[in-house]
Structure formats: C-alpha cells, structure tokens
Amino acid sequence: MSDDKPKGDMDPEAFRREGYRVVDWIARYFEDPGRYPVMSRVKPGEVRAALPASAPESGESFDAILEDFERVIVPGITHWNHPGFFAYFAITGSGPGVLGEMLSAALNAQGMLWRTSPSVTELEEVVMAWLRQLMGLPASFQGVIYDTASVSSLHALAAARQAAVPGVRAEGLAGRGLPRYRVYCSEHAHSSIDKAVILIGLGHDALRKIPADAEFRMRADALQAAIAEDRRAGIVPLAVVATVGTTSTTSVDPVEAIADVCARERAWLHVDCAYAGVAAIIPEYRHVLRGVDRADSVVVNPHKWLFTPFDLSAFYCRRMDALVEAFSLTPEYLRTSETGTVRNLMDTGVQLGRRFRALKLWMVLRYFGADGIRARLGEHMRLARLFASWVDADPDFERLAPVPFSVVCFRARPGGRQWSENELERLNQGLLDRLNASGEVFLSHTKLDGRFVLRLAVGNLRTEERHVRRAWELVKRSAPPSGSDAFPR
C-alpha cells in the first residue's frame, strides 16, 4: 500500500534552517535570561488550558510550533538560568553542557550494552575516572552515571541489601525468619533516602534518623548508641547514609567517625555528596571528603554544582560486585559475544536503556578545565560569604547556620520588640512571598529546629556580585522595618 503522505524525518535543509533558529533562540536566552521573571507567574492550569486537548491530525509548521513555545511554554518556565535564581540548589545548564546535550540527542545512542555504542560505555568510564580524580577519591571507586541522586542512593541501598542478605534476590525478604534491618541517616538527610528505604522493601520504619549537633551534623556518638540499642532488640544495621552538604544548611556529617562506626558494625556506608562533593575539586576544600574514601558508595551530582545540564548523577561504588549481583540479568536477546571482556551498563542498575549523559560532562570538564571549575566554585562561595557578612552586620537579621559552601540560611528578626516563633514564621513567609513576587529573585525556605528560615543558594554561572547585592537590597526593602509591629499582609 502506498499513499502520498510524507514518511521520512524532517528534511536536512529544514533541520538546518530550524536548527539555526533554535540555536539563535538559545544564544539570545543565555545572553539575558534576566529579562524574564525568575519564577513563573502562570496560574495552575494556565499552560494546559492554552494548548489543544488532542494532538494535531496533520503536521504543523515549525514556525507555528516555535511561536507557541514562546507564547505558551516560556511563560510557564521558572528560569533556573536566571542570575537571580537563589532557591533550592541553584544550577547551570552551561553552554558546553547544552551543546553536549544537543549532540547526545542527535546521536540518540542508547548505551544498554557496550556494542550498542562503545563510546557511551567507555566515555562514561573515562569521565567518571576524571571526576573521581578531580575530587581526590581513590581508584578503588568505580563509577556509573544515573539520572538523579535519588536513583543513585536507591541503587546504593539496593547494593547494600544485596551484600547483607545475599538470598534477597531470589527469595525476597518476607517469610524467611530474617532479622529486622535498619538504615541510619541524620535528621537532615535528604528525603530521597526515605524513598530508597521504602523502595527496597524494608519499610519506612526501618529508617532511623540520628540527631544532629548544633551545626546540623550527624552525631556519630548518637549513631553508635542507636545501633547498640537496635542490636539489643535484635535489629541488624544494614547501612548508614552520611551527607556532605545537607539540603537545608549544607552541613557536613563527620564521615570519618561514621566510617569507624560502620567498620565496627559491618554496615554499608553510603555518602550523599549530591551538592557539595564537587567542592573537593578545590584543594583547600579537599578536606570535606575526608573519610569518604572509606565509604562503600558515594553520589555526587554534576547537575547540581558542576554546570552540567539536568540530569546527570555520578555514582561511585567500591562494591560494584554487589551492585551487579543485585541488578545483572541478561535475557537471550541481549547476549553478546564480548560479554565478560567489556562492561555492559545495563548490568549496573534497574534501567535497561541509557542516555548518553557522559558526553555533556566530558564537554563541561574539558571546556572549563579544572582551574576554571575551581575559580567558578570559589566565586560562588565568596558571594555566599559576602551575603552572609551583610546578614551578620544587620541587627534586624540573623543567620541560622554556618556557611561552609554557597548557601546562606537567614531570617529577618527586626529589633525593638520580642517575637514569638509563630510571628517570625509569618513575618518571614511574608518576606519570602514578596521577594519571589518581585520577579527579580527566587529564594526558598526550610525549617531548622522548628524555625522558619530563608535560604539563598548561589550556584548559577550568570550570578555576579551585583545580583547578590540586588538580592540583599530587595530583602532589606521587603522586610518590615525595625521596631515594626505590623505583619506583612
């Protein structure tokens, strides 16, 4: 059967023409993302309502598609590239990273097996070794790339479960008279650890949160005491998750002391360095990974603070055998003659298909170089310290956590009267809402020991000192004045 409908892809000339337009759009966007409000102002449902409910029956022109991209999609974007983006962990999809992403999309290589694109597997091995060396981690760590830290930590705990309960793969955990298992992390660990514990079938109650000290670091003595108490109740420690750079305050758990506990208790040690691990690329910050060389697994996210477009999470493991034991499964149709002599990425995780993520990281590392990366990370930390110094010097504000990296936790506390915690929460929530409505900056919040705190995170390559100054100006302007009784509406 044949008809006269076109069957092939976009023709090469059209691709070239539209491709140039798209690159021009990106270049213009990168020139000045600050011309958009940083946080999208659309109302819930607005984007959906502006689009047809069904796909078009006939193909449309790229003109029409790009027009709707600009008219409907862009207004619904919160601009993570905006120099005033200070929320969560600020990130950058850098130029070289975006170009790498484009080439990866063009190649559309799927790296499940070595033979389905040897470069996908081998470049991943190369860049993971580069990054490991840059951070000063030993060669005993083998690397594999996943999409997110959540997925990396899930694989870490699945490998830990495999190592502790070898029969789990065949027989599961239920109805076999096994002891109860426990995973430990600090009260400030990321929620991805909770999800991982749920997903590996231990149940959420199997996660025990260890109290932190006054600087939000896990207390190793409290960890040891919790394990001892659990052991007396017949509960076996399966894994401990330490964090270097916690989500709220970027505090650093005492990994060396925690590694001692894990060695004594024969528990798997996973270290979540999703945000702050890359700081170790700077020699003066190498110490933040002290003790991490003794971990069984580590995660660091180049998509957080290493200028790599989302998503790319670097997972390192010293027990790759346990990971492969947990996940390797080769059906007949995926058998190859080179198995045994090469690495097949499908053996190292739950997913079969793999994007070619290593390409963008390779381009980022080569384009900026180690010295360029150090300079940029160092500048972000300088800007955060500068902001912290303004907070410290102002009697109407207070800082609520140390600033080891590039995140500042602070709040307004206007002088001249006593405030209850409830009042301060309302006041600072109002301040945050007004700041974010400005369109010039976007900050997020957290709670520390029950106190509502604003977070300013510097991590975008387009953020310069003038943007941080402007953020402080806006904070000052949006806060109630000293001696004020009035609550923001």
Q: Which residues bind ligand PLP (CB under 6 A)?
A: 89, 148-150, 190, 192, 243, 245-247, 272, 274-275, 301, 313
Instruction: Work out how close the CB of 305 gets to ligand PLP at its nearest, in angstroms, rounded to a whole number.
Output: 10
Instruction: Work out how close the CB of 271 gets to ligand PLP at its nearest, in angstroms, rounded to a whole number.
Output: 10
Nearer to ligand PLP by C-beta: 155 or 413?
A: 155
Nearer to ligand PLP by C-beta: 117 or 192?
A: 192
From residue 43, alpha-carbon distances to 68, 72, 130, 293, 477 in Å are 18, 12, 44, 47, 26
Provide the 3-class DSSP secondary structure of residue 244: strand
How far is residue 265 CA from its own chain's centroid? 29
From residue 96, alpha-carbon distances to 17, 43, 124, 367, 442 in Å are 22, 34, 17, 7, 25
Nearer to ligand PLP by C-beta: 274 or 435?
A: 274
From residue 123, alpha-carbon distances to 80, 299, 360 in Å are 28, 19, 11
Instruction: Work out how close the CB of 350 gets to ligand PLP at its nearest, in angstroms, rounded to a whole number.
Output: 15
The neighbouring-strand residues paired with 183 are 207, 239
DSSP string, 189-232: S-HHHHHHHHHTTS-GGGEEEEPB-TTS-B-HHHHHHHHHHHHH
DSSP string, 133-157: HHTT--TT-EEEEES-HHHHHHHHH
The amino acid sitting at 436 is N
Instruction: Work out how close the CB of 405 gets to ligand PLP at its nearest, in angstroms, rounded to a whole number.
Output: 11
Residues 147 and 161: their CA atoms lie apart, in Å, by: 21
- Order of all β-strands in the sheet with 297-300: 142-146, 313-317, 297-300, 268-272, 235-243, 180-186, 207-210
Nearer to ligand PLP by C-beta: 113 or 149?
A: 149
Residues 246 and 28: their CA atoms lie apart, in Å, by: 35
Provide the 3-class DSSP secondary structure of residue 79: coil
Nearer to ligand PLP by C-beta: 113 or 314?
A: 314
Nearer to ligand PLP by C-beta: 272 or 440?
A: 272
Instruction: Work out how close the CB of 460 gets to ligand PLP at its nearest, in angstroms, rounded to a whole number.
Output: 15
Nearer to ligand PLP by C-beta: 196 or 363?
A: 196
Instruction: Work out how close the CB of 256 gets to ligand PLP at its nearest, in angstroms, rounded to a whole number.
Output: 19
Parallel, antiparallel, or unpaired: how do β-strands 451-457 and 407-412 relate? antiparallel
Instruction: Work out how close the CB of 196 gets to ligand PLP at its nearest, in angstroms, rounded to a whole number.
Output: 10
Instruction: Work out how close the CB of 342 gets to ligand PLP at its nearest, in angstroms, rounded to a whole number.
Output: 28
Nearer to ligand PLP by C-beta: 312 or 435?
A: 312
Q: Beta-carbon neighbour count of residue 173 at 10 Å?
A: 16
Instruction: Work out how close the CB of 231 gets to ligand PLP at its nearest, in angstroms, rounded to a whole number.
Output: 28
Nearer to ligand PLP by C-beta: 302 or 414?
A: 302
Question: How far separated are the first and last CA of the chain, in Å rounded?
Answer: 68
